[in-house]
Structure 1
């Protein structure tokens, strides 16, 4: 028979350590977030629908985005055991300079609409963690202010080539004079994609107040307080605009941009230049022939052409065709450190996080971005250790298998 007795208080004390209460509500909610998806849930609770949907949404039926995320889930890791992984290095050189982690903050538009700290919060967080920060042409903070927020870190400027070429190159000149080290030329925007969530929400700049907008904002007074009591929302590259997002993009984007224009832009820029939006092997090879420093395999986060190629699926073939020595970066669908590690193993030199960054920003401003970087960085380190590697250089395609869910249908001949 089991002998039982009443517990003694002195025996219970070591087993019942009560956590000290904290009244820092933002810190409490961010500390509970263990994944980027946790940050997304917080962001959705705290942000009006129109702003949240601008981040969350993609083009038309949003098939491209779902497929891109599924592609990262459809992998199988092959770990090695009995390796010394006591110390793990998560950094290396990207575009000629060191990074502490193999991911950076992607360029995002309308950022201060998600949270008033906007690009300044993102740039501060990037500087703290030793990763690059990318400012979009559609950003809501001036080029010079981003540089001031991240004076000694790496700042990249993303360029949409406008129909007004002089205006485009004036931005490039400002970025160069401010000390931005890399230019990201985005090439998958001859016109704006059909972002149906934004149309249904009446998303515009400045925001239009409708009955639905007001009702949706009632449980989110803190967002409106921040929005109405801080500087008026404006663009880093545009004096003013009144209309929908789609109308703005169609006014700005130039559908005539070609490879000759890319060569011309390259001649104007003194630093590194990377082409963003490559979606097939032939274009990758053509861009490499132009002499740029790198390419980003991207379908614009699924926000342009729906049913576009999946960047992560393209990665191994592009690496094979252009060579592993050439810098290939990847974005779209990356939501965890495991996704980042998988991309590096298959030949990417770097990855960019857009939605994950904005989820963190909406969840808690600069502190939320810091939490996002901490989460993904910890996941990178832990995944590497579990794979049995202690540096990024040790990651190889042998560590990752892309499982087949979607494959081209074989053609029949008659």
Structure 2
């Protein structure tokens, strides 16, 4: 074989030099190809107490691990020779079309994770054409969130407090500010045992100690932002100096019943979604009560450890509510667009992401949330094409097989 040295003319089309990215933040975000990549960046840049509050779950964190295993155990079954030159990721959710089959879930204390907090979340959601849910335990007011993104689809998440008048005052404020859906969370009669928070001495606002100061030294950007922006406070309640668990036990009402939920439903003019549903029986009762959506969720594994896995429960609830006007939404364990596609194929009408967007927030503020949404969008579109479907409505249970890792033990006799 005859050899020769390449000439500059020969090399020119083979070599392309990437234009350098000068912004360190943009370099970090561009290098993140998955939500797990964003999580690793977030862990490096966020003090341990704040990161662990986001990342952790209750007790042994079994519920969270099982939720993620459930998605990992999905087998996709693609169809071939379909025209997927373009795909439509939109659908009508609670009466309005959204651009993607996921929205941002309610997350408390968001400005503790990163100082842009709820404003970064709602403006990113507005840009993406997806709903944003503000938590009762948010750190930006109902009105400020509404003003920051007037074109966003905004939902308000309600915890029923022991002080019912204060709870309904929040509902009235959300109504006046233009929120169109009330998301009532029903799985917090008391706080779960969030052991990471207890071990970290997690308080609101964060308590400075020798350990927290030492942990902060390699994370100066977080502390500079924390100390030079508006002091961290709750948007919906007075200041609190105890732990998060103590706050939840102090505030939340363990006596709430289906009749209370019926009463709340009558107070709200828009759609009502109930989050924290973990059984077919309860889902059926809620549909009969007339709620607009049930959210299958075990609170991201943060309440009852070893609770049912929402993804495992999904097909049974979808079957039980077939023919009902009540939509079935899914939350807990979602870390990729593939997870979202699997949920939709399994029957979920819509999904919510919590940790996935918070990792983006901690990694890069508003730009990081945009990056998290872009990652999920690209994964959803690619997975749909590889499955041979052009719309979400074409996804069916035939496209997914749930491989068995956990199954109830058969008892003799």
TM-score in terms of structure 1 length: 0.99
SS in structure 1 of the partner of residue 4 of structure 2 = coil
**Counterpart position of 2:209:** 210
Q: Distance in 2 between matches of 1:153 and 1:244?
A: 33
Q: Report if aligned partners of 2:123, 2:152 keep a CA contact under 8 Å in 1.
A: no
**Counterpart position of 1:270:** 269
**Counterpart position of 2:163:** 164
**Counterpart position of 1:398:** 398
**Counterpart position of 2:67:** 68
- CA offset digits 1:217-266 (Å, max 9, x no partner): 10000000000000000111112111111110101110000000000000
Q: Does 1:337 align with 2:317?
A: no
Tell which deviates more after alignment, 206-215 or 362-371.
206-215
**Counterpart position of 1:18:** 17
SS in structure 2 of the partner of residue 184 of structure 1 = strand
**Counterpart position of 1:194:** 193
- CA offset digits 1:185-212 (Å, max 9, x no partner): 0000000000000000000011111111
Q: Distance in 2 between matches of 1:383 and 1:5?
A: 45
SS in structure 2 of the partner of residue 58 of structure 1 = coil
- CA offset digits 1:293-327 (Å, max 9, x no partner): 01000000000000000000000000011116530
Alignment of 1:37-56 (within 5 A): 37-56=36-55
Alignment of 1:78-93 (within 5 A): 78-93=77-92
SS in structure 2 of the partner of residue 205 of structure 1 = coil
Q: Report if aligned partners of 2:138, 2:234 keep a CA contact under 8 Å in 1.
A: yes
**Counterpart position of 2:382:** 382
TM-score in terms of structure 2 length: 0.99
Q: Report if aligned partners of 2:125, 2:132 keep a CA contact under 8 Å in 1.
A: yes
Instruction: Number of aligned residue pairs: give it.
Output: 412
SS in structure 2 of the partner of residue 376 of structure 1 = helix
- CA offset digits 1:371-409 (Å, max 9, x no partner): 000000010111000000000110111101111100000
**Counterpart position of 1:118:** 117
**Counterpart position of 1:369:** 369
SS in structure 2 of the partner of residue 405 of structure 1 = coil
SS in structure 2 of the partner of residue 243 of structure 1 = coil
SS in structure 1 of the partner of residue 151 of structure 2 = coil
- CA offset digits 1:53-100 (Å, max 9, x no partner): 000000000000000000000011110000000010000100000100
**Counterpart position of 1:253:** 252
**Counterpart position of 2:132:** 133
- CA offset digits 1:90-137 (Å, max 9, x no partner): 001000001000000000001000100000000000000000000000
Q: CA RMSD in A?
A: 0.8
Q: Distance in 1 between matches of 2:244 and 2:217?
A: 24
Q: Does 1:356 align with 2:356?
A: yes
Q: Does 1:243 align with 2:275?
A: no
Q: Distance in 1 between matches of 2:35 and 2:205?
A: 29
- Structure 2: gaps spanning 5 or more residues: none
Quote how far apart the aligned CAs of 1:18 are. Answer: 1.2
